[in-house]
Structure 1
Amino acid sequence: MKKTILMQKYPVYSLELSKEEIKVSSADEAVEYFKEKIINHPIAEFIAIFDHYSHTKKLGGEMIDGLKDAKNIVFCFGQAIPNTKILAARPRSIGICEFKDKIVIDFMEAPREELHTVMENWAKGLKR
């Protein structure tokens, strides 16, 4: 996984996978893969799928060249509310972008290292 700082403040982790090296062949299949991981996790709660591609297309918004699909799977690991600010870091989202020959997975760094590791392992688990 590659860590970058988006807009000089958001720590984002990315994994770019060739379609030849992964278990899925589309963004929709990747969404289902992550949904299963979330549902089977002892504290994660599935919330929704957001079709970012259709939303942006409907608005006439700009999109990166070659993008075929873009979805977010929204979920939460929250098992405690120790303060009001923790809600700003929740829920979590994993972005899934499909191109002709690859799928790109992106998510922001989680506040708890062990849950961040869970998301990294889920993403890496897409490899054959």
Structure 2
Amino acid sequence: MKKTILMDKYPVFNLTIDKSECKYTTMQAIIEDLCAKIEAHPIAKFIAIFDHYAHTKNINGEIAPEILDAKNIVFCFGAAIPNSKILAVRPRSIGLCETKDQFVIDFLEAPKEELHALMETWAKSLVNACIKE
């Protein structure tokens, strides 16, 4: 996984998987895999799939020409509300993007290190077991 700082302030983690190295051949299969992991987690709660590509296309927004599909899996790990500010970082979202030759997974760094590590594990699990990082 690669960490970048988007717009000089947002810590985004990225995993780009060549389609030949991915366990799955479709975005739908990837979404089903990640949703199953969310549903199986003891505190995670699946919320929705947001079709970002369709939304942007419907409003005549700009889409990079290499992007074939773009969706967000929206979910929450919230087990407590210690203060109002925690709501600003919830719910979580995993962005999925498809290009001709790759699937791209992006998400913001989570406030809790163990949950961030879990999201990294979920993303990395999409890579074929025989592929080395």
- 1:118 matched to 2:132: no
Deviation at 1:28, TM superposition (A): 1.7
- Residue number in structure 1 paired with 2:131: none
Deviation at 1:6, TM superposition (A): 0.5
- Secondary structure at 1:53's aligned position in 2? helix
| CA distance in structure 1 between the aligned counterparts of 2:74 and 2:4, rounded to whole angstroms | 21
| CA distance in structure 2 between the aligned counterparts of 1:32 and 1:71, rounded to whole angstroms | 12
Identity %: 62
Deviation at 1:92, TM superposition (A): 0.1
**Given residue 16 of structure 2, which amino acid in structure 1 is its aligned partner?**
E
**Given residue 72 of structure 1, which amino acid in structure 2 is its aligned partner?**
N
Deviation at 1:65, TM superposition (A): 1.8
- 1:127 matched to 2:104: no
* Misfit runs of 4+, over 2 Å: none
**Given residue 35 of structure 1, which amino acid in structure 2 is its aligned partner?**
C
Deviation at 1:89, TM superposition (A): 0.5
**Given residue 33 of structure 1, which amino acid in structure 2 is its aligned partner?**
D
CA RMSD of aligned residues (A): 0.6
| CA distance in structure 2 between the aligned counterparts of 1:29 and 1:62, rounded to whole angstroms | 26
- 1:75 matched to 2:49: no
Report matched runs for 1:59-74 at 5 Å.
Answer: 59-74=59-74
Report matched runs for 1:12-51 at 5 Å.
Answer: 12-51=12-51
- Residue number in structure 2 paired with 1:94: 94
Deviation at 1:2, TM superposition (A): 0.3
TM-score of the superposed pair, with normalisation by structure 2: 0.94
What's the CA shift string for 1:69-101, capped at 9, x where partnerless?
A: 000000000000000100000000000000111
| CA distance in structure 2 between the aligned counterparts of 1:3 and 1:76, rounded to whole angstroms | 21
Structure 1: any 5+ residue segments left out of the alignment?
Answer: none
More moved, 20-29 vs 82-91: 20-29
| CA distance in structure 2 between the aligned counterparts of 1:44 and 1:23, rounded to whole angstroms | 23
**Given residue 6 of structure 1, which amino acid in structure 2 is its aligned partner?**
L
**Given residue 30 of structure 1, which amino acid in structure 2 is its aligned partner?**
I
| CA distance in structure 2 between the aligned counterparts of 1:66 and 1:84, rounded to whole angstroms | 39
Aligned residues: 128
**Given residue 38 of structure 1, which amino acid in structure 2 is its aligned partner?**
I
TM-score of the superposed pair, with normalisation by structure 1: 0.98
